[in-house]
Amino acid sequence: MYSFSEIYERYQDQIGTVEFPQSPENLYGSITYFLDYPGKRIRPVLCLMGNELFSEIHPDSYIVANAMELFHNFTLVHDDIMDRSAIRRGRPTLHVKYGEQTAILAGDLLLIQAYIQLNKIEPKYKGRIFGLFSEMACQICEGQQMDIDFEDRSIESVSYAEYLKMITLKTSVLLGAAAKIGAIIGSANAEQQEDVYAFGKNIGIAFQIQDDFLDAFGDTFKMGKQAGSDILENKKTALLIKAFELADSSQKMQLKEAMCKVGEDRIHTVIGLYKELKVDLWAGRAIHYYTEIAFNSLDRIEIPIYKKEKLTELANSLLVRQS
């Protein structure tokens, strides 16, 4: 069994095999610019680990891992345009550096390139994996649309159930699908495939709620970003949505007033209300709840425990940032 860093290294060696033409220079240059500063490669590594639970890593898993990474980058490029984000991985976003027109095309091309990768795998499971991949791709677009729709709605009109659906579609199904497709290539049976999917998806949900939690309650130094940035944007996070669900009418009024304050004052007042409403404790329980579902799914898979250790490590590395 390989560790995360070993699998990461092996994957890094492989990704060089995805080659792009030189021309048009702006288009392919922008893609190279974006891919040259990679993220944590969690999705491709999950795919490889999903395979390795059941058999030695098959070359097709590296291909799917590439497809997953290209697809993930497609979503980032287009999301950055939609969200008007200026910085990604410490550098100007693709649309800021190359213009929005090229960014739309670069995203489109990354999506097409993901499908080009998928077309290289063995025919025996190609149709099935294509189907799963496309279903996941639709869900991610749906999740992003829900997120966009949330922006135009009042905070009180968005329920925690809707929030959960949104983050599940927007971010978690990709982790589930990456791990599941790896498992399919590794010849897992149907039940095992579902358990692997549930593991990835629920780790994703826990991670997303944790992300919201850390923005308010995390250690600024450890996170590497300013605490309270979500609060400063009045972003509809799990915490804010849950706070409104838990608040009585007087507390709702206080929350709304707090959301109109400026800078540190807003952060302190909102966090104070979160604590009063015990939203911090609630978030801890929610993170624990989805983590448990994930690990229970992994436990159900009847394979030697040592084979699961790397996935457990990966999950823990994603979920212990608050400690």
98-106, 189-197, 302-310, 311-319 -> range binding its own copies (CB under 8 A): 98-106
Question: Both tokens of residue 154?
Answer: 């009042």
The token pair at 50 is 């999903």
Instruction: Answer yes or no whether residue 104 interacts with its own copies by CB under 8 A.
Output: yes
- In whole angstroms, how close is the CB of 135 to its own copies at the nearest point? 8
Binding of residue 280 to its own copies (CB under 8 A): no
Nearer to its own copies, 140 or 267 (CB): 140
Which two tokens mark 273?
């209300």
* Site for its own copies contains 126 (CB under 8 A): yes
Angstrom distance (rounded) from CA 1 to CA 21: 36
Contact call for residues 204 and 171 (beta carbons, < 8 A): yes
Indicate whether 289 belongs to the interface with its own copies (CB under 8 A).
no
Alpha-carbon gap, residue 274 to 240, rounded angstroms: 8
Q: Which of 22, 23, 154, 249 binds its own copies (CB under 8 A)?
A: 23
Q: SS3 string of 153-206?
A: CCHHHCCHHHHHHHHHHHHHHHHHHHHHHHHHHCCCCHHHHHHHHHHHHHHHHH
Q: Minimum distance between the CB of residue 167 and its own copies, rounded to whole angstroms?
A: 14
User: What's the min distance (Å) between Cβ of 119 and its own copies?
Assistant: 5
Quote the distance between the C-alpha of residue 154 and its chain's center.
Answer: 25
286 in Cβ contact with 238 (< 8 Å): yes
- Count of residues interacting with its own copies (CB under 8 A): 38
113 vs 297, beta carbon nearer its own copies: 113
Decide whether 48 or 167 has the Cβ nearer to its own copies.
167
Return left, alpha or beta for 43; rule: phi > 0 is left, psi -120 to 50 is alpha, else beta: alpha
Tokens standing for 3?
A: 């560790």
Closer to its own copies by Cβ: residue 144 or 237: 144
Q: 199, 185, 83: which is closest to 133 by C-alpha?
A: 185
Does residue 294 sit in helix, strand or coil? helix
Q: What is the DSSP string of 258-271?
A: HTTS-HHHHHHHHH
Nearest to 114 by CA among 79, 75, 144, 141: 75
Among 134, 187, 226, 316, which residue interacts with its own copies (rule: CB under 8 A)? 134
Subset of 146-165 contacting its own copies (CB under 8 A) = 146, 148-149
125 binds its own copies (CB under 8 A): no
Contact residue for its own copies among 112, 161, 253, 303 (CB under 8 A): 112
- Shortest approach of its own copies to residue 105 CB, angstroms? 5
Binding residue for its own copies, selected from 18, 96, 125, 145, defined by CB under 8 A: 145
Least CB distance from residue 106 to its own copies, whole Å? 8
* Dihedrals phi, psi of 87, to nearest 5 degrees: -125, 135
Stretch that binds its own copies, among 2-10, 95-103, 212-220, 303-311 (CB under 8 A): 95-103
- 107 lies in the site for its own copies, by CB under 8 A: yes
**Residues that bind its own copies in the complex, under the rule CB under 8 A:** 21, 23-24, 26-27, 74, 78, 81-82, 100-102, 104-105, 107-109, 111-113, 115-116, 119, 123, 126-127, 130-131, 134, 137-138, 141-142, 144-146, 148-149
